[in-house]
Amino acid sequence: MAKKLLRALAGETQAVPPIWMMRQAGRYLPEYRATRAQAGDFLSLCYNPELAAEVTLQPIRRYGFDAAILFADILLLPDALGADLWFVTGEGPRLSTVTAQADFDRLKGKDDIHDHLAPVYETVRLLARELPEEVALIGFAGAPWTVATYMIAGRGTPDQGPAHALKAENRPLFDALMERLTEATIEYLSQQVEAGAEVVKLFDSWAGSLSGADFETYAVEPARRITAALKARHPGLPIIAFPREAGEKYVGFARATGVDCVALDNSVSPEWAAEHVQVDGCVQGNLASSHMVTGGAALVEETRRIVSAFSRGPHIFNLGHGITPDADPDNVSLMIDTVRGARG
């Protein structure tokens, strides 16, 4: 029988939805913290296939999720394109910026990224061999808009202001960067599939800051192009898109892009999403990650509510955002048991 995640992505409604969790390999787990210490730093962990595979497998061993997602980072692609990338402890990523034509001209082409990313592909190959046969393997990349916001600002920002400013002030340069990222993302994800990924996910974490025509141009259209190219190369490949905080713009996103599943953040209600988004196919989500910290009856109640709301169509149970480092691992078990009906 096909894996539960793949069945949901193919449009099957299941009595118990498949479960995985964004950032399921991460700092909330003691075994992850031990492996990261062994690696030395975050980037070294990402580029060490054995250790990256190990942290990908840790939540599968502990919880029995229905899918594993490659352990990597969305900024490995700009790193491969020639941007300088480093991580500041307690603050997050820093990159050299692309704000002028000369900066863009120093970037590599879409076909020159693979030597740098070879360790990531090796991680996928290791996982394809080592994962339990019932567990699906998800590859991923950041969506072009979200990756561009980091490359332009040199870091994460609350409002993606530097990217919006460049888009307004130098549209040709901004469009050239988006084009390079779109093409490189196709190549990167295609190589992950060649290495053994069964599903790919496109994380557009900052899609919600795009409004009006810009949402169509810089969130919908790149996702459509990436999806079409990948499905042409890999017929039958399921694709999940996460245009986070899209709000009303979640409606019709699957139709417009061709993706098989739309992941939802928890700013929209499951009842609304079932009526307006799930009508087009599989949805993923959308428990608030704060429940992984607070637990208790509220976690059980909200988990049941989401399962019930999405029970009439294809659904993948997940959080509405990544699990946070302060989460209690026992609350993850409670969530899974609630979805699977083991706790009354």
pLDDT (tens digit per residue) in 110-137: 999 999 999 999 999 999 999 999 999 9
Q: Report domain extents, the chain.
A: 4-339
Report if pTM > 0.85: yes
Marked catalytic residue, from 23, 180, 225, 244: 23
Please name the helix (run of DSSP H) or strand (run of DSSP E) that holds residue 141, with its range, or none: strand 136-142
Q: How far apart are CA 273 and CA 270, in angstroms?
A: 5
305 catalytic, yes or no? no
159 catalytic, yes or no? no
255 catalytic, yes or no? no
Q: How far apart are CA 307 and CA 15, in angstroms?
A: 9
Model confidence at 185: pLDDT above 70:
yes
- CA 144 from centre of chain: 13
33 catalytic, yes or no? no
Q: Cβ neighbours of residue 344 under 8 Å, at least 6 residues apart? A: none
Marked catalytic residue, from 36, 94, 155, 340: 36
H helices of the chain, where? 4-9, 30-39, 42-46, 49-63, 76-80, 101-105, 114-130, 144-153, 161-169, 171-195, 213-215, 221-233, 253-257, 270-276, 291-294, 296-309, 329-339
Maximum alpha-carbon separation in the chain: 61
Fold of 4-339: TIM Barrel (3.20.20)
Marked catalytic residue, from 33, 62, 73, 224: 73
Q: Could you read off the pLDDT of 214-234 as tens digits, one per residue?
A: 999 999 999 999 999 999 999
Work out the mean pLDDT of the chain and round it to a whole number: 97
Marked catalytic residue, from 28, 32, 63, 150: 150
340 catalytic, yes or no? no
